[in-house]
Amino acid sequence: MQIKIIAVGSSKWERFIYNWGVSFLIGEDVLFDTFGKPTVFLRNIKKQNIDLSRIKHIVISHNHWDHISGLWYIMYKFKNINPALSNTKGINEIRKGGVNVYICPNFGEETKKRINSFGVNVIEAKGLLRIRDEIYSTGEIAGKYKDKNIFEQSLVIDSENGLIVITGCAHPGILTILKEVKKNFSDREIFCVLGGFHLLDKKRKDIELIIDEFKRMGIKKVGPTHCSGKLAKEIFKRIYQDNFVEIRTGQILQF
Protein backbone atom coordinates (compact mmCIF):
# COMPACT_ATOMS: atom_id res chain seq x y z
CA MET A 1 0.00 0.00 0.00
CA GLN A 2 1.35 3.43 -1.00
CA ILE A 3 0.65 6.58 1.01
CA LYS A 4 1.66 9.99 -0.37
CA ILE A 5 2.03 12.96 1.95
CA ILE A 6 0.50 15.76 -0.13
CA ALA A 7 0.93 18.40 2.57
CA VAL A 8 1.63 18.63 6.28
CA GLY A 9 2.02 21.60 8.62
CA SER A 10 3.33 21.06 12.14
CA SER A 11 5.34 24.03 13.43
CA LYS A 12 4.15 27.20 15.19
CA TRP A 13 5.39 29.25 12.26
CA GLU A 14 3.45 27.12 9.77
CA ARG A 15 0.32 27.60 11.83
CA PHE A 16 0.90 31.36 11.97
CA ILE A 17 0.98 31.57 8.15
CA TYR A 18 -1.94 29.10 7.80
CA ASN A 19 0.35 26.49 6.23
CA TRP A 20 -1.22 24.05 8.68
CA GLY A 21 -3.03 20.73 8.50
CA VAL A 22 -2.58 17.39 6.75
CA SER A 23 -3.46 15.69 3.48
CA PHE A 24 -2.70 12.09 2.50
CA LEU A 25 -3.33 10.17 -0.72
CA ILE A 26 -3.79 6.44 -0.24
CA GLY A 27 -3.12 4.51 -3.41
CA GLU A 28 -4.34 6.64 -6.30
CA ASP A 29 -7.99 6.97 -5.40
CA VAL A 30 -8.50 7.78 -1.68
CA LEU A 31 -7.80 11.32 -0.44
CA PHE A 32 -7.75 11.89 3.32
CA ASP A 33 -8.16 15.55 4.35
CA THR A 34 -7.38 18.56 2.18
CA PHE A 35 -5.00 20.76 4.22
CA GLY A 36 -5.55 24.30 5.47
CA LYS A 37 -3.95 26.43 2.76
CA PRO A 38 -5.55 25.75 -0.64
CA THR A 39 -2.75 27.35 -2.68
CA VAL A 40 -0.17 25.03 -1.10
CA PHE A 41 -2.49 22.02 -1.37
CA LEU A 42 -3.15 22.55 -5.10
CA ARG A 43 0.48 23.37 -5.84
CA ASN A 44 1.63 20.17 -4.15
CA ILE A 45 -0.91 18.10 -6.08
CA LYS A 46 0.58 19.49 -9.29
CA LYS A 47 4.20 19.05 -8.15
CA GLN A 48 3.57 15.45 -7.13
CA ASN A 49 1.86 14.67 -10.47
CA ILE A 50 -1.33 13.51 -8.78
CA ASP A 51 -4.07 12.72 -11.29
CA LEU A 52 -7.31 14.11 -9.83
CA SER A 53 -9.40 12.06 -12.24
CA ARG A 54 -8.29 8.91 -10.41
CA ILE A 55 -9.57 10.09 -7.02
CA LYS A 56 -12.87 8.37 -6.24
CA HIS A 57 -13.09 8.81 -2.47
CA ILE A 58 -12.46 11.89 -0.30
CA VAL A 59 -12.54 11.46 3.49
CA ILE A 60 -12.71 14.59 5.66
CA SER A 61 -11.70 13.75 9.22
CA HIS A 62 -13.47 16.71 10.84
CA ASN A 63 -14.90 20.12 10.08
CA HIS A 64 -11.93 22.34 10.96
CA TRP A 65 -10.39 24.74 8.45
CA ASP A 66 -6.98 23.04 8.46
CA HIS A 67 -8.50 19.79 7.19
CA ILE A 68 -11.28 20.95 4.88
CA SER A 69 -10.11 24.20 3.25
CA GLY A 70 -8.69 22.60 0.12
CA LEU A 71 -11.90 20.65 -0.50
CA TRP A 72 -13.79 23.54 -2.10
CA TYR A 73 -11.01 24.12 -4.62
CA ILE A 74 -10.64 20.48 -5.54
CA MET A 75 -14.41 20.18 -6.02
CA TYR A 76 -14.23 22.78 -8.77
CA LYS A 77 -11.48 20.70 -10.35
CA PHE A 78 -13.73 17.64 -10.27
CA LYS A 79 -16.54 19.56 -11.92
CA ASN A 80 -14.20 20.40 -14.77
CA ILE A 81 -13.25 16.74 -15.10
CA ASN A 82 -16.82 15.43 -14.98
CA PRO A 83 -19.57 18.01 -15.77
CA ALA A 84 -22.21 15.39 -14.88
CA LEU A 85 -21.44 16.09 -11.22
CA SER A 86 -23.51 19.27 -11.47
CA ASN A 87 -26.68 17.17 -11.12
CA THR A 88 -26.91 17.13 -7.34
CA LYS A 89 -28.62 14.52 -5.18
CA GLY A 90 -29.43 14.33 -1.49
CA ILE A 91 -27.15 13.35 1.37
CA ASN A 92 -26.42 9.59 1.37
CA GLU A 93 -28.00 9.14 -2.09
CA ILE A 94 -25.31 7.33 -4.07
CA ARG A 95 -24.77 7.91 -7.78
CA LYS A 96 -22.72 5.24 -9.52
CA GLY A 97 -19.51 6.58 -11.01
CA GLY A 98 -19.50 9.73 -8.91
CA VAL A 99 -16.90 10.91 -6.43
CA ASN A 100 -17.71 9.95 -2.83
CA VAL A 101 -17.10 12.45 -0.03
CA TYR A 102 -17.25 10.93 3.46
CA ILE A 103 -18.17 13.22 6.35
CA CYS A 104 -19.26 12.89 9.97
CA PRO A 105 -23.06 13.11 10.47
CA ASN A 106 -22.52 15.95 12.95
CA PHE A 107 -20.85 18.25 10.44
CA GLY A 108 -22.89 21.47 10.27
CA GLU A 109 -25.82 21.57 7.85
CA GLU A 110 -24.30 24.47 5.91
CA THR A 111 -21.12 22.45 5.32
CA LYS A 112 -23.17 19.46 4.16
CA LYS A 113 -25.20 21.59 1.75
CA ARG A 114 -22.09 23.22 0.37
CA ILE A 115 -20.38 19.89 -0.31
CA ASN A 116 -23.56 18.46 -1.82
CA SER A 117 -23.91 21.47 -4.15
CA PHE A 118 -20.92 20.19 -6.13
CA GLY A 119 -22.86 17.10 -7.15
CA VAL A 120 -20.65 14.57 -5.39
CA ASN A 121 -22.00 11.64 -3.38
CA VAL A 122 -22.06 12.86 0.23
CA ILE A 123 -21.86 9.91 2.61
CA GLU A 124 -22.25 10.22 6.38
CA ALA A 125 -19.97 7.83 8.26
CA LYS A 126 -22.10 7.01 11.30
CA GLY A 127 -20.10 3.93 12.24
CA LEU A 128 -17.48 1.62 10.78
CA LEU A 129 -17.76 2.02 7.01
CA ARG A 130 -16.00 0.25 4.15
CA ILE A 131 -14.68 2.76 1.62
CA ARG A 132 -13.14 0.25 -0.75
CA ASP A 133 -11.11 -2.95 -0.55
CA GLU A 134 -8.81 -2.80 2.49
CA ILE A 135 -9.76 0.79 3.46
CA TYR A 136 -12.34 1.77 6.09
CA SER A 137 -13.60 4.79 8.00
CA THR A 138 -13.88 4.38 11.76
CA GLY A 139 -17.12 6.33 11.54
CA GLU A 140 -17.57 9.42 13.65
CA ILE A 141 -16.12 9.31 17.15
CA ALA A 142 -17.16 11.96 19.66
CA GLY A 143 -14.76 14.08 21.68
CA LYS A 144 -14.22 17.51 23.22
CA TYR A 145 -12.27 20.49 21.90
CA LYS A 146 -12.14 23.75 23.86
CA ASP A 147 -15.10 22.53 25.95
CA LYS A 148 -17.22 21.93 22.84
CA ASN A 149 -18.34 18.66 21.30
CA ILE A 150 -16.38 17.59 18.24
CA PHE A 151 -16.82 14.62 15.94
CA GLU A 152 -14.04 13.03 13.96
CA GLN A 153 -13.41 10.00 11.75
CA SER A 154 -10.11 8.29 10.99
CA LEU A 155 -8.94 5.90 8.28
CA VAL A 156 -8.07 2.24 8.76
CA ILE A 157 -6.06 0.36 6.13
CA ASP A 158 -6.00 -3.43 6.37
CA SER A 159 -2.48 -4.16 5.10
CA GLU A 160 -0.46 -7.38 4.95
CA ASN A 161 1.51 -6.26 8.03
CA GLY A 162 -1.57 -5.36 10.05
CA LEU A 163 -3.81 -2.33 10.44
CA ILE A 164 -2.56 1.15 9.53
CA VAL A 165 -4.52 3.92 11.26
CA ILE A 166 -4.40 7.46 9.85
CA THR A 167 -5.73 10.28 12.02
CA GLY A 168 -6.47 13.90 11.21
CA CYS A 169 -6.24 15.55 14.63
CA ALA A 170 -7.41 12.86 17.07
CA HIS A 171 -9.56 15.35 19.00
CA PRO A 172 -11.52 12.51 20.67
CA GLY A 173 -8.16 11.24 22.00
CA ILE A 174 -5.68 9.08 20.12
CA LEU A 175 -6.20 6.17 22.53
CA THR A 176 -9.99 6.47 22.23
CA ILE A 177 -9.66 6.15 18.46
CA LEU A 178 -7.30 3.18 18.67
CA LYS A 179 -9.55 1.37 21.15
CA GLU A 180 -12.46 1.83 18.75
CA VAL A 181 -10.35 0.36 15.95
CA LYS A 182 -9.40 -2.61 18.14
CA LYS A 183 -13.06 -3.16 18.99
CA ASN A 184 -14.07 -3.24 15.32
CA PHE A 185 -11.07 -5.28 14.13
CA SER A 186 -10.65 -7.62 17.07
CA ASP A 187 -8.86 -10.28 15.01
CA ARG A 188 -6.25 -7.87 13.60
CA GLU A 189 -3.25 -6.12 15.18
CA ILE A 190 -2.58 -2.40 14.75
CA PHE A 191 0.75 -2.21 12.94
CA CYS A 192 1.22 1.53 12.39
CA VAL A 193 -0.40 4.83 13.43
CA LEU A 194 0.17 8.02 11.39
CA GLY A 195 -1.16 11.58 11.53
CA GLY A 196 -2.16 14.17 14.09
CA PHE A 197 -2.24 12.82 17.65
CA HIS A 198 -3.28 16.12 19.30
CA LEU A 199 -0.64 16.03 22.02
CA LEU A 200 0.52 19.61 21.47
CA ASP A 201 -0.37 20.75 24.98
CA LYS A 202 0.31 17.49 26.83
CA LYS A 203 2.95 17.16 29.53
CA ARG A 204 5.84 14.72 29.25
CA LYS A 205 4.35 12.32 31.79
CA ASP A 206 1.02 12.18 29.93
CA ILE A 207 2.76 11.56 26.61
CA GLU A 208 4.86 8.76 28.09
CA LEU A 209 1.72 7.10 29.49
CA ILE A 210 0.13 7.24 26.04
CA ILE A 211 3.23 5.69 24.49
CA ASP A 212 3.14 2.95 27.14
CA GLU A 213 -0.37 2.15 25.93
CA PHE A 214 0.82 2.14 22.29
CA LYS A 215 3.43 -0.44 23.28
CA ARG A 216 0.91 -2.48 25.23
CA MET A 217 -1.32 -2.55 22.14
CA GLY A 218 1.60 -3.91 20.11
CA ILE A 219 1.85 -0.96 17.71
CA LYS A 220 5.08 -1.42 15.75
CA LYS A 221 5.47 1.90 13.88
CA VAL A 222 4.40 5.49 14.57
CA GLY A 223 4.37 8.70 12.58
CA PRO A 224 3.06 11.57 14.74
CA THR A 225 2.79 14.89 12.92
CA HIS A 226 0.71 18.09 12.63
CA CYS A 227 -0.86 18.78 16.05
CA SER A 228 1.15 16.06 17.81
CA GLY A 229 3.63 18.65 19.06
CA LYS A 230 7.42 18.84 19.12
CA LEU A 231 7.80 17.23 22.56
CA ALA A 232 5.59 14.25 21.67
CA LYS A 233 7.50 13.69 18.43
CA GLU A 234 10.80 13.73 20.32
CA ILE A 235 9.60 11.19 22.89
CA PHE A 236 8.01 8.90 20.29
CA LYS A 237 11.23 9.04 18.25
CA ARG A 238 13.40 8.22 21.28
CA ILE A 239 11.28 5.22 22.21
CA TYR A 240 10.43 3.87 18.76
CA GLN A 241 13.86 4.63 17.22
CA ASP A 242 14.06 2.98 13.76
CA ASN A 243 10.31 2.37 13.83
CA PHE A 244 9.58 6.09 14.02
CA VAL A 245 8.24 7.39 10.69
CA GLU A 246 9.10 10.98 9.76
CA ILE A 247 6.13 12.59 8.01
CA ARG A 248 7.24 15.18 5.45
CA THR A 249 5.49 16.88 2.55
CA GLY A 250 6.18 15.04 -0.71
CA GLN A 251 7.15 11.81 1.04
CA ILE A 252 5.93 8.44 -0.26
CA LEU A 253 5.44 5.66 2.28
CA GLN A 254 5.26 2.01 1.25
CA PHE A 255 3.62 -0.61 3.45
The CATH number covering residue 71 comes to 3.60.15.10
- What is the value of pTM for the model shown? 0.93
**How many folded domains does the chain comprise?**
1
Q: Are 119 and 87 in contact (CB under 8 A)?
A: yes
DSSP letter for 187, please: T
Per-residue b or e along 106-125, where b marks 16 or more CB atoms closer than 10 Å to that residue's CB: ebeeebbebbbebbbbbbbb
- pLDDT tens digit sequence for 151-203: 999 999 999 999 999 999 999 999 999 999 999 999 999 999 999 999 999 99
Share of the chain above pLDDT 90, in %: 77
Q: Are 26 and 156 in contact (CB under 8 A)?
A: no
- pLDDT tens digit sequence for 7-56: 999 888 787 778 889 999 999 999 999 999 999 999 999 999 999 989 99
**Model confidence at 78, in pLDDT bands (50, 70, 90)?**
low
**Model confidence at 138, in pLDDT bands (50, 70, 90)?**
very high
Q: Are 4 and 27 in contact (CB under 8 A)?
A: no
44 three-state secondary structure: helix
Range of the domain at 210: 2-254
